[in-house]
Amino acid sequence: MSETCCVCGAPGLLIPLGHSSACPACSTQSAAEVAAVEHLRKLLRPVVRAWAGGWVEAGLSDETLRALLELEGASWASEDPLGADPDTVN
């Protein structure tokens, strides 16, 4: 029985990816995605902590701030990350 890529289903040379295996192209893509997330997290961490600290002092709970972060993250799903800033478009 031959194995196939867990992402695209292609047969052939497979590289371990988590608990399964992926083809070289999907493995490379996955590594880039992981790096992008880690980079974004590193950029956002000081901003989010400063934002949260200010709003905790204003009386918002940790739970509320987590919910707001989740909503903000979800709102990015419908935006073009390279598109114009909607707050600056006239």
Q: Which residues bind Zn ion (CB under 5 A)?
A: 5, 7-8, 10, 23, 26
Q: Which is nearer to Zn ion, 10 or 52 (CB)?
A: 10
Q: Which is nearer to Zn ion, 10 or 68 (CB)?
A: 10
- Unique residue bearing structure tokens 């701030």: 65
In the complex, the smallest distance separating the C-beta of residue 27 from Zn ion, rounded to whole angstroms, is 8
In the complex, the smallest distance separating the C-beta of residue 22 from Zn ion, rounded to whole angstroms, is 5
Q: Which is nearer to Zn ion, 8 or 36 (CB)?
A: 8
Choose among 71, 67, 65: nearest CA to 51.
65
Distance CA 29, CA 59 (A): 42
Distance CA 66, CA 61 (A): 9
